[in-house]
Chain A
Amino acid sequence: QSVLTQPPSASGTPGQRVTISCSGSSSNIGSNTVDWYKQVPGAAPTLFIYTNNQRPSGVPARISGSRSGTSASLAISGLQSEDEADYYCASWDDSLNGYVFGTGTKVTLL
């Protein structure tokens, strides 16, 4: 049912850079801002990036977000054990008149 597509998994060794993509359409990412959420097992999601590239307080500077056209991406530099989690992109969809989430990406350390 998700209208935003993410790769199911991403991985890297400690210290590496990992990038997660989020593909949408003109009715969502193409015309609205993108948020990212981080979810560790058994817990509620937390806001991780908002308005395409803004970091809430407490999110380190090695985390960054971007949007271009109908796609967005989340980059994690200097991969650490605390980064192991599920990550979801989200955006408002003007056609559905609702908030839509991505399919989710599980990040693991090798």
Chain B
Amino acid sequence: VQLQQWGAGLLKPSETLSLTCAVSGDSFSGYFWNWIRQPPGKGLEWIGEIVHSGTTLYNPSLKSRVTISVDTSKSHFSLNLTSVTAADTAVYFCARGEYGGLLDSWGQGTLVTVSS
């Protein structure tokens, strides 16, 4: 399986972060599709996940600003994060997972910088 991600890399405060991850080489159904982020020089933070049916789970600390959606016809899933601030500056990764975690395939990562 391969995950290829893309999206805008430079945002101003209060704008909306949008990233998309395309899945190829394996079935889209039967897995959990995740977003994770990593601020520069810091550790990993799980943002949330979606399954092909559209059911989602979000990190409680981000839940009010996060939407993860899926387009099964294209084997894509997307991340929207509203009202970004400098604290949202990070490398964002998409990843394939199983029930309870086990993220076995990752996208290449996208650096998103929030700056006025």
Contacts and interface: CB of A to CB of B under 8 A. Distances in A.
Interface string B92-109: 010001001111101111
A46 B16 CA distance: 28
B101 A1 contact: no
B31 interface: no
Q: Is the interface of B mostly helix, strand, loop or mixed?
A: strand
Interface stretch (B22-30, B43-51, B75-83): B43-51
The contact size tier of chain B is: 20 to 34
B44 A96 contact: no
Contacts of B61: 1
B43 A51 contact: no
B59 A101 contact: no
B57 interface: yes
Contact of A51 (B45, B49, B102, B108): B102
Contact of A100 (B46, B48, B103, B106): B46
Given A32-B100, A100-B46, A45 B106 contact: yes
B108 to A, nearest CB: 6
B34 A99 contact: yes
A83 interface: no
B88 to A, nearest CB: 14
B58 interface: yes
B46 A47 contact: no
Contact of A33 (B49, B97, B100): B100
A11 B57 CA distance: 37
Sorted nearest first, the 10 A-B pairs with minimum C-beta distance are A44-B106, A101-B44, A99-B46, A92-B100, A104-B43, A99-B101, A47-B104, A50-B102, A98-B59, A44-B109
20 contacts: A33-B100, A33-B101, A35-B102, A45-B44, A45-B103, A47-B103, A50-B104, A51-B102, A88-B43, A90-B46, A90-B101, A92-B100, A92-B101, A98-B46, A99-B34, A99-B46, A99-B49, A99-B103, A103-B43, A104-B43
Interface of A: 1-2, 32-33, 35, 37, 43-47, 50-51, 56, 88, 90-92, 96-104
